[in-house]
Amino acid sequence: ADLFGEWIPDEWIEEVFEACKAAPQHEYLFLTKNPKRYGVINGKLFNYSWETPSYWWFGITVTCQDDLAKLRYLPYGQANTFISIEPLLGDIDLSFYIPKSTTKWKCSFCGHHSDYYSSHCRNCDKEGGYSGSFRKEPINWVIIGQQSGPGAKPPKPEWVQSIIDQCRAAGVPVFVKRPLYKQFPIQEWPEDIKIVSK
């Protein structure tokens, strides 16, 4: 289930977080199709500080270019972030979200500059987000997968290769899931993830 679905009470998420804190020997990957809830929960529990443990990872599921608008809700530069592109349904241009570090973000309300992209401005306390072309740190990890089950269609090889090339240019590790792995044998892990077994 999606822990950050609108049907999940805040209290349940808090309980999961407490259980994760109590077992720091594990890595925790939170993956959602409803990333806006990340900011809501963070505001409630951490006052938008994103002071979460280094072994927590916050991810978003995307499938196509139109889904990328949801990436603005990831806590860039404040916590470990990743995207799971599964199933990959079309060509995706990630250049806006995983560029090399060059400039800062600017709040569309008060003009405050920040090293990270967020839907919440720490300076004026408004929701709406920063705008700009680049951010200080890229997404920490990209996972690529395909449709499964009867009638599943694999993505075009050039779509997969394009994502890999974009990640390579930005220094972002890529993990290709099976069965795509047969054609693109790449399964990279971020340095911060403790690999117990492969």
Rounded average pLDDT over 122-130:
71
With a CB cutoff of 8 Å and minimum separation 6, the contacts of 129 are 72, 107, 108, 117, 118, 119, 120, 121
Angle at 63 between CA 79 and CA 179, to 5 degrees: 100
Is pLDDT above 50 for 98?
yes
Predicted pLDDT of residue 106: 72
Question: Residues of the chain with pLDDT > 90: what percent?
Answer: 53
- Interval 8-57: pLDDT, tens: 999 999 999 999 999 999 999 999 999 999 989 998 988 888 888 989 99
Listed ranges 9-13, 70-74, 148-152; the one with the highest mean pLDDT:
9-13
- 């209290």: which residue's tokens? 11
Is pLDDT above 60 for 103?
no
Is pLDDT above 80 for 191?
yes
Predicted pLDDT of residue 165: 94
Kindly report which listed range (58-72, 119-133, 182-196) carries the lowest average pLDDT score.
119-133
Predicted pLDDT of residue 15: 97
Structure tokens at 69: 């608008």
Predicted pLDDT of residue 135: 46
Is pLDDT above 90 for 175?
yes
